[in-house]
Chain A
Amino acid sequence: MQGLTALVLILAVAPPAFAQMPALPPGLGGQPELPPGLRVPPELPPGLGGQPELPVGLDGRDASGQAAIEAEEPSALFTGFFDLRYGARTQDNSLMPRDILGEARLHLEAGFGTTIQTRLAFDVVGDAVASDHSVELHAGAGAFDLREANISFSPFQSMDVKVGRQILTWGTGDLLFINDLFPKDYESFVIGRDIEYLKSPSDAVKLSFFSDYANLDLIYTPQFDADRYINGERVSFFSPIAGGQVGGGAIPVDLPDDSFSDDELAVRLYRTIRGFELAAYFYDGFWKSPVGYDTGRALYTFPQLKVVGGSLRGPVGPGILNLELGHYYSAEDPMGSEHNIPNSQTRWLIGYEMEVARETTLGLQYYQEIQDDQTTYLAALPTGMTARPETRDVLTARLTRSFLDQRLMANLFIADSPSDKDGYVRADLSYNISDALRLNVGINHFYGDSEQTFYGQFQDDSNAYFGLQFGF
């Protein structure tokens, strides 16, 4: 009985006594440490505190507040930006002028519709460096560049269709592409245009199918869309055919451009399992840049190419791991004996990205290209021509850090090839002066022991650029 009394007593007294009521820190008692404007104890926000509540729309205060927000955001038909950009070579290039980039660009884009969505995006460019200003819609040259013109809709709940000019990307690499065989604009990238110009558009039909087991993308491009490759017009490069640096004018090419016969098919089958993204890829088309050469016609060519690959991406430890593999089947050189056509090869990469400090991310990649038939290739190579190495590898590091509440972004990308003894450094600073105004400065620096290697050939095109972009 005595015990029971004690128990009741303790039950009644114990909680407050043993809850260890924490001492409130200074600042909670109304002491002057609190920042001005902060109320202690807090006042109830409107809508709480036992006042009778009004449904939305009848609550005068909130209704007027909402009207004010809506008034701030009139929906414009077009959004976009105006971009001024200049870039200059940092070393002498005997073939090319000092200026590598000098342009004023107006970008406009608009989207309409809900069930059937239409998108339009285009650029009007005043280019002081280009010698030829004639508009070529397919190649994207000249004063008018149509970036997007497409419609998309869902004919079935589990299917999306997108038809028309569109930007396409997949795969897991960072500036290293294995299974992404959609057109890229390497020239824009190398001369210091905004990173969003790394991708050039495709004129394609994209069918996407979704299910619980896997998703499937089928992309058909009736007329081959080549990269906007480095052609010697604005950036010089090494040509094993010419046996030296080529620049000062575009190289002659034989572009496969017969609709429905010179076509491309890209397929991706993918699904996510417990946060891991798995994908399988297939591509049937052409090498995206003119890596072949037709001696008889003296034309650079885009040989046929088939690629089969796969990728994996997901969280491992504190970061994101990615793996990608692809086999490039160079259909016009099945034995590897044609030295003017790339050998078949295996390409793979592994990457890891993590946050290493506050607002700081580090990404590392290792990439390898292995020729299938190096022995045959070497045997068939005419004497005097420099042989491609059997294996080319690249290590990349990307360090990004943001400062000043993410107004200032610093981005450093280094690609170094131990096999080619060359490399590439891109350093970019982007400062948002306001929501609308952004300033960019950066460098593209190429180095190498030889002027004949992948990055080394662009040594004399190393440049520094700046850009000012006004968004609206």
Chain B
Amino acid sequence: MKQIVTTLFVLLFATQLQAQSAQDIMNRASAAIYYSGADVRGDVSMTIVDGQGRKRSRSLVLLRRNEGAANADQQMYIYFTRPSDVNRTAFLVWKNTRGADDRWMYLPALDQVRRIAASDERTSFVGSHFFYEDVSGRLPKEDRHDLVETNGTYHVMRSRPRKPGKVEFASYVTYIERTSMIPTRMEFYKADGTLYRVMEVLAVNTIQGVPTVTQIRMTDNDMGGNTTLRYRNVRYGNGFGSDLFSERSLRAPPMEYLR
């Protein structure tokens, strides 16, 4: 009897340990792709190719600041330069790990600061195949993770949402490169097992000692087509304060960080 109890206890403990290490791997992957550096700036060119092969492009500057440790709160400022009809349009996002994000948008022609309801994180970001959540980073704690396999190159993870009603996927598989902990590929599956959405990292550069994703593509068969993001002029450690991520920067863009 004592043995059975011991065995059960050990089994439970082992499963727990397993789950913990899977969660830990995902936390580290999230940290590697969304939280590298205390702050960062980068120029982003976005190429959107729709299902019929038509191309659209966007150019923007991204400023990001971590509030504290990895997977904690963050602030983001996004300043569009192209095409001309969105030139000087800016987004401000306060990523809140304990609740919904706060989002603002600035329309320069009207000098208007709009508040955006952030109820659905999984809608297209400016018409691209990336969702708002792909830009700001899905929190690892929102899903349950299992380690499928660790091979010479990758940790292969399988994740399922804790709140399935809030997302369009049933599960996703992440390939995490073991040295950098960068998730280089994510595959999103529907309940019937259909693979419909794939994120691929196409290039990684080491910038100021930090392995940094500089090219990434999202393919979405539901929408048709794909979007590629290319980063250049990436710089860490800019000394951004939290006051940079405020209405002030929406109305008066901080050009010293945008050019």
A contacts, CB < 8 Å to B: 2-3, 6-7, 10-11, 14-15, 18-22, 24-28, 33-35, 37-38, 41-42, 44-50, 53, 55-56, 59, 61-62, 65-66, 69-70, 72-73, 79-81, 111, 113-115, 117, 152, 154, 160, 162, 166-170, 195-196, 198-199, 208, 210, 215, 270, 272, 275, 277, 313-315, 318-320, 322, 353-355, 358-359, 361, 402, 405-407, 432, 434-436, 438, 469, 471-472
Contact = CB atoms under 8 A, between A and B. Distances in A.
Interface stretch (B63-71, B79-87, B133-141): B79-87
A112 B214 CA distance: 29
B interface, size bucket: 35 or more
B177 A49 contact: yes
A375 to B, nearest CB: 39
A432 B58 CA distance: 14
Contact of A438 (B85, B116, B126, B219): B85
Contacts of A114: 255-256, 259
A154 B251 CA distance: 13
Contacts of B45: 69, 72-73
Among A28, A322, A405, find the residue whose CB has the most chain B CB atoms closer than 10 A.
A405
B166 to A, nearest CB: 11
B147 A355 contact: no
Contacts of B126: 406
Given A46-B204, A47-B211, A434-B56, A472 B147 contact: no
Contact of A359 (B112, B124, B175, B232): B124
A26 B50 CA distance: 26
A47 B205 contact: yes
A69 B102 CA distance: 32
A313 B127 CA distance: 27
Contacts, number: 228
B146 A48 contact: no
Contacts of B109: 167, 196, 199
B204 A45 contact: yes
A15 B48 contact: no
B255 A117 contact: yes
Given A27-B194, A196-B110, A405-B124, 11 more contacts: A27-B187, A38-B198, A72-B45, A81-B84, A199-B111, A277-B247, A313-B115, A315-B117, A320-B116, A435-B82, A435-B83
Those 6 A-B pairs whose CB atoms lie nearest each other, nearest first: A196-B109, A406-B127, A47-B204, A42-B185, A14-B14, A471-B84
A162 B148 CA distance: 57
Nearest to A111: B88
26 contacts: A3-B6, A15-B18, A18-B14, A19-B15, A19-B146, A19-B147, A25-B173, A37-B219, A48-B180, A48-B211, A69-B232, A162-B252, A167-B110, A169-B112, A196-B110, A199-B111, A275-B102, A277-B115, A277-B247, A318-B117, A318-B119, A319-B119, A320-B115, A358-B120, A361-B117, A435-B82
Given A7-B6, A48-B179, A405 B11 contact: no
Contacts of A277: 115, 247
B138 to A, nearest CB: 18
Interface of B: 2-3, 6-7, 10-11, 14-15, 17-18, 45, 48, 50, 54, 56-57, 59, 82-85, 87-88, 94, 96, 100, 102, 107, 109-113, 115-120, 123-124, 126-127, 146-149, 153-154, 158, 171, 173, 175, 177, 179-180, 182, 184-185, 187, 189, 193-195, 198, 200-207, 211, 214-215, 219, 221, 223, 225, 230, 232, 243, 246-248, 251-252, 255-256, 259
A41 B201 contact: no
A151 B210 CA distance: 38
A14 B16 CA distance: 11
Contacts of A7: 6-7, 10
Contacts of B206: 47, 53, 55-56
Contacts of B207: 56
B100 A315 contact: yes
A10 B10 contact: yes
B204 A48 contact: yes
A217 to B, nearest CB: 9
B238 to A, nearest CB: 15
A28 B83 contact: no
B127 A407 contact: yes
